[in-house]
């Protein structure tokens, strides 16, 4: 059997930020924030607000059940989460991270671009053999590939402070507008990684000095890394 290199998924016009997400090793992140068979806007949204902004949400109440995916494809994960958020104890927290996860729903469980969900039900369009790498084409395709294409993906949303977006490109622009918050979290994680100790309240003034010194350069990674290494926070260890 000859295995050819198939495209990872052609991106429509205007989705350069999504291409950025994949080609800069973000495919691994998209994969580990899915469960192998379905994506989770909750897990992906939590990853964004925690790892990029340093704002980990509170754990869910112990009496709240997880949302299981609809394998028959009759409802989307967005619709299921809307019912989940009808509980007042859930709505407040989910508003902080669900929108970020919805923006990443245009990527499947391995980070490949998509516009429709897959499901194991009988309804919907059948896949095309050309989508699969190195399939032998021995006449057993329909028996081997059992899923169908179902409902369209909706990657739009609104952040907790009221900023609406249509896709991950627009969300990315919203996130980058607050680049100092991103830089602050990056610096704090560098310090934690380099010293083994988290940033304490007493250390925050030095973190702000690092950010101030890097502001004119647009918070470049090299600049932030150099200033962290030169700072007393790093050198005292």
The answer on pLDDT for 7 being more than 70 is no
DSSP string, 115-133: SEEEESSS-SBPPPGGGST
- Please name the residues in contact with 10: beta carbons below 8 A apart, sequence gap of 6 or more: 113
| Range scoring the smallest mean pLDDT among 2-16, 99-113, 157-171, 215-229 | 2-16
Instruction: Give the orientation angle of helix 168-176 with respect to helix 179-195, to 10 degrees.
Output: 80
The answer on pLDDT for 103 being more than 90 is yes
Q: Tell me how crowded residue 214 is: count the other CB atoms within 10 A of its CB.
A: 22
Question: Does residue 213 come out as left (phi exceeding 0), alpha (psi in the -120 to 50 range) or beta?
Answer: alpha
HEC readout, 26-54:
HHHHHHHCECCCCECHHHHHHHHHHHHCC
d(CA 112, CA 79): 22
Bridge-based pairing of strands 116-119 and 157-158 is unpaired
The pLDDT tens digits for 24-68 are: 457 788 888 888 778 889 999 999 999 999 999 888 777 666 666
Rounded to a whole number of angstroms, the CA Rg of the chain reads 21
Entry pTM: 0.75
The pLDDT tens digits for 57-91 are: 888 777 666 666 665 556 787 887 877 677 776 77
The answer on pLDDT for 95 being more than 60 is yes
């Amino acid at each position: 059997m000859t295995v050819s290199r198939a495209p990872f998924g052609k991106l429509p016009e205007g989705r350069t930020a999504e291409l950025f997400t994949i080609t800069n090793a973000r495919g691994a992140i998209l994969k580990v924030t899915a469960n192998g068979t379905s994506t989770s806007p909750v897990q992906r949204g939590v990853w964004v607000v925690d790892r990029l902004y340093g704002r980990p949400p509170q754990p869910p109440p112990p009496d709240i059940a997880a949302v299981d995916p609809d394998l028959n494809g009759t409802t989307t994960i967005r619709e299921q989460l809307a019912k989940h958020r009808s509980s007042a104890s859930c709505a407040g927290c989910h508003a902080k991270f669900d929108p970020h996860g919805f923006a990443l729903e245009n990527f499947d469980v391995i980070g490949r671009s998509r516009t429709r969900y897959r499901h194991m039900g009988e309804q919907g369009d059948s896949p095309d053999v050309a989508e699969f790498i190195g399939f032998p084409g021995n006449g057993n395709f329909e028996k081997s590939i059992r899923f169908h294409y179902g409902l369209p993906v909706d990657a739009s949303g609104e952040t907790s402070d009221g900023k609406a977006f249509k896709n991950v490109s627009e969300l990315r622009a919203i996130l980058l507008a607050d680049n100092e918050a991103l830089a602050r979290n990056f610096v704090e994680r560098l310090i934690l990684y380099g010293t083994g100790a988290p940033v304490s309240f007493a250390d925050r003034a030095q973190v702000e000095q690092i950010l101030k010194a890097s502001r004119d350069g647009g918070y470049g990674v090299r600049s932030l890394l150099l200033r962290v290494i030169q700072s007393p926070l790093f050198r005292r260890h």
